[in-house]
């Protein structure tokens, strides 16, 4: 089959969506399909401006100019529009694909799939990494009374209802999509290719030494985007409880994002901040921590699913989660007993702080996290399920 995959990000850009798409493209090519990826030429993330090594058997068309993606709203909107029109021109000029896969960066890029289906009969799969316009509401950038909302809802319904399959990342997102009229919804969690082994443990110990993390230090690590979908208030409460009992407990925040400056201003006395790490350093960096910190504001439940959770589970590290128990991460965490769900009531933090300082209990919960990854977040299984769905979508074309 001839398959076209569309997303703004693709390696060497270090956005998680691009890394996942890379895995899917490789698997489809290994199955003998002719795979074309339409992606932006601009970089994203630490180390993203290196030379691109495109996967064997995959044709990557990089649209637009090189450089680095910006963070300001106006700049992002302009980038989104340029990518949308460039991808549209390329999609409709190339020979017809048997199926198209659209992710959700830029927002509403699935409308290209809907248009290709309406005009050319090409089926498409919508792989939802986040949901729009729901994310705009959660951000506070769009209010329910805004007349633009009804237009954006109609566009979302168009891209979701015409898709051969709509892929949700968690049970909360799948429920949200079905409740709003999406059809053919499949739930496939994202995965992580990280694997714990002896060589990684050696690299992790070296990482700790280089950062001055002593063997007796308990490291709680938040690694990744510090954006509007995430909070740190619960971690600040936890830090005060833990550091009052165990001074050698360190809360480390690695990454960047729109909320980082505010977090530094409010909790610089409790947290340590460091820059994002490169892809080459990521595995040792993540394994070096004793506990991973993951957060999701309640209003983002069903709109996004933090991929930090799968990375922690893949490395056998327990998670302290600040978010709704009804969210995907909240449900997975509770079902597997692979960490701690941080409560809204501050008087409950003392007992959690004591548990987090128990190295044996951390190891037990970390082993459960690793088992959860093997059972539910395996790259081999989940990527294969997604590839099967793409192949099924293309079987009826033309």
Query: What pTM value is reported for the model?
Result: 0.93
Residue from 68, 45, 58 nearest 5 by CA: 58
Phi then psi dihedrals of residue 295, to 5 deg:
-140, 155
Burial of 192 per CB tally in 10 Å (0-12, 13-18, 19+): buried
Residue from 151, 150, 87, 170 nearest 124 by CA: 87
Q: Whats the size of the chain, residue-wise?
A: 398
CB 286 within 8 A of CB 292: yes
One-character DSSP codes across 316-384: T--EEEES-TTSHHHHHHHHHT-EEEPPS-GGGHHHHHHHHT-HHHHHHHHHHHHHHHHHH--HHHHHH
The CA distance from 380 to 383, in Å, is 6
* pLDDT for res 22: 97
Do β-strands 249-254 and 271-274 pair in parallel, antiparallel, or remain unpaired? parallel
pLDDT in tens, 131-178: 999 999 999 889 999 999 999 999 999 999 999 999 999 999 999 999
Beta bridge partners of 292: 221, 319
Domains and CATH numbers, the chain: 2-191+379-394 (3.40.50.2000), 198-376 (3.40.50.2000)
Which stretches in the chain have pLDDT values below 50? 46, 48-49
Q: Would you tell me the crossing angle of helices 379-394 and 16-30 to the nearest 10 degrees? A: 70
Coil/strand/helix, residue 211: helix
Within 13 Å and on the Cβ side, how many CA atoms surround 145?
0
Structure tokens at 82: 């340029």
The CA distance from 167 to 111, in Å, is 15
The CA distance from 342 to 279, in Å, is 29
Residue from 184, 53, 164 nearest 394 by CA: 164
DSSP H helical ranges for 35-133:
73-93, 110-120
Coil/strand/helix, residue 109: coil
Name the CA radius of gyration of the chain, rounded.
Answer: 21
Residue from 146, 147, 144, 179 nearest 160 by CA: 179
Structure tokens at 191: 């995965």
The CA distance from 106 to 81, in Å, is 8
pLDDT in tens, 224-270: 999 999 999 999 999 999 999 888 999 999 999 999 999 999 999 99
Structure tokens at 187: 């739930």
Beta bridge partners of 187: 168
The CA distance from 294 to 225, in Å, is 10
- 140 φψ region: left (φ > 0), alpha (ψ -120 to 50), beta (else): left
* pLDDT for res 94: 75
Residue from 169, 172, 178, 131 nearest 152 by CA: 131
* pLDDT for res 246: 84
């Amino acid at each position: 089959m001839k398959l076209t995959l569309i997303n703004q990000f693709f390696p060497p850009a270090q956005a998680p969506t691009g890394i996942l798409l890379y895995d899917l493209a490789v698997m489809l090519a290994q199955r003998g399909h002719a795979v074309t990826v339409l992606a932006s030429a601009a970089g994203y993330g630490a180390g993203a401006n290196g030379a691109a090594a495109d996967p064997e058997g995959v044709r990557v068309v990089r649209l637009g100019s090189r450089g680095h993606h910006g963070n300001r709203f106006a700049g992002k909107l302009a980038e989104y529009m340029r990518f949308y029109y460039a991808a549209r021109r390329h999609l409709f000029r190339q020979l017809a694909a048997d199926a198209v896969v659209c992710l959700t960066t830029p927002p509403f890029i699935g409308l290209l799939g809907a248009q290709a289906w309406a005009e050319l009969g090409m089926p498409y799969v919508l792989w939802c990494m986040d949901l729009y316009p729901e994310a705009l509401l959660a951000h506070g950038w769009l209010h329910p009374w805004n007349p633009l909302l009804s237009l954006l809802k109609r566009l979302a319904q168009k891209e979701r209802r015409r898709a051969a399959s709509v892929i949700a990342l968690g049970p909360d997102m799948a429920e949200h999509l079905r409740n709003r009229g999406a059809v053919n919804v499949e739930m496939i969690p994202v995965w992580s290719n990280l694997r714990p082994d002896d060589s990684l443990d050696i690299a992790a110990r070296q990482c700790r030494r280089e950062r001055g993390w002593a063997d007796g230090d308990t490291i709680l690590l938040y690694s990744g985007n510090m954006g509007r979908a995430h909070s740190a208030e619960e971690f600040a409460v936890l830090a005060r409880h833990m550091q009052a009992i165990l001074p050698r407990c360190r809360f480390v925040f690695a990454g960047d994002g729109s909320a980082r400056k505010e977090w530094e201003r409010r909790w610089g006395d409790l947290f340590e901040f460091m820059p994002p790490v490169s892809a080459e350093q990521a595995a040792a960096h993540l394994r070096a921590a004793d506990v991973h910190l993951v957060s999701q504001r309640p209003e983002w439940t069903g709109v996004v699913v933090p991929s930090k959770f799968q990375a922690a589970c893949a490395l056998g590290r327990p998670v302290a989660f600040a978010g709704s128990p009804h969210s995907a991460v909240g449900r997975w965490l509770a079902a597997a007993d692979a960490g701690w769900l941080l409560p809204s009531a501050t008087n409950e933090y003392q007992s959690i702080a004591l548990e987090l300082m128990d190295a044996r209990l951390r190891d037990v919960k970390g082993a459960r996290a690793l088992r959860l990854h093997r059972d539910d977040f395996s790259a081999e299984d989940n990527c294969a399920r997604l590839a099967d769905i793409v192949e099924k979508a293309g079987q009826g074309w033309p």
